Amino acid sequence: MAEAATGTESITVREAIRETLSEELGRDERVFVQGIDVASRGGTFGLLEGLGEEYPERVRNTPISEVAIVGSGLGAAMTGMRPVVEVMYSGFLGVPMDQILNQVAKLRYMTDGNVDIPLTIRTQNTSGFNAAAQHSQALHQLLMAIPGIKVVCVSTPADAKGLLRAAIRHDDPVIVFEHAGVYNREGEVPVGEYEHRIGEAGIEREGEDVTVVATQVQLWNALEAAERLAEEDVSVEVVSPRTLDPLDVETIAGSVRKTGRCVVVDETPLCGGSQSELATVITEEAFFDLDFPVQRLGVDDVPTPFSPPLEEEIYPDTDDIVTTVRQLA
């Protein structure tokens, strides 16, 4: 982990993202940001408000064309720039999927490593906003299955600052999955030029009885569940993968070897979801240390309903985590 920080400050995920982009734009003239309304309206949820006025030449609005956004970003990355492109919702990744699958992820390999692809793609998973099926979904499990592109999931303000900075400075393509449900979450972040190493998980809370591996909103639910279970003398260790590809198997499996019990919770469907891959890896790495099979929590295998009660029904929450941990503990 590279860091040059002194002290901490309490900021939101939203503030960490904007602050990091501003700092990287100021540090390196090769960095630029482009996407739909990023200069005028601050992009999705207004995260980048004011960034266009701060860097008018390098924060650029684009047409409503994800193919153009990602494709031109790829071309710029191949010719020496370090673009940060925004795809408003992860559901819209289907539009530029040919660029991502067949170009962004494969060109470094197909050029025998002679061409760097320092392209950062920012997008967001969404749940809890009743935005219906095309806007409310998490798709990081699809990108995990594509060799050649690194996949990051932002959960905390420290993640947002450290992982986004690492992605921008990385010479391989990185897709950063943010989450609308954590933008206003607040936490301590090191002050200064701070970055997380891509491929390094984190222990967000230490415990002895059960390991809960969780991402994004579910990480916050897991921390809340751990607080509640502590009142019942159940000690829960909460692990954030941070990076799904490459995956820090040793940190995750090390926690499970210690506790002997594990729950993996993620907002992708159980069929082919990230929690299913994680559960398999954990079982392979820590089989003889497990007291019980790894338990998985995820989204029901249906598109996200528009109806608020139905949406609430298909997503795991704190109560689901508490109930599953109790069954193990």
Residue 43, pLDDT > 90, answer no
Condensed to tens digits (0 to 9), the pLDDT of residues 150-162 reads 999 999 999 999 9
The dihedral built from the CA positions of residue 267, 271, 276 and 277, taken in this order, carries a sign that is negative
Closest CA to 228 of 239, 238, 217: 238
- pLDDT band of residue 317 (cuts 50, 70, 90) is very high
Q: Residue 44 phi/psi, 5° resolution?
A: -65, 130
Q: Region 301-324: what's the mean pLDDT?
A: 93
Higher pLDDT, 80 or 43: 80
Report yes or no: 240 and 156 within 8 Å, Cβ to Cβ. Answer: yes
Condensed to tens digits (0 to 9), the pLDDT of residues 103-129 reads 999 999 999 999 999 999 999 999 888
- pLDDT band of residue 5 (cuts 50, 70, 90) is low
The pTM score is: 0.94
Give the residue numbers marked as catalytic: 135
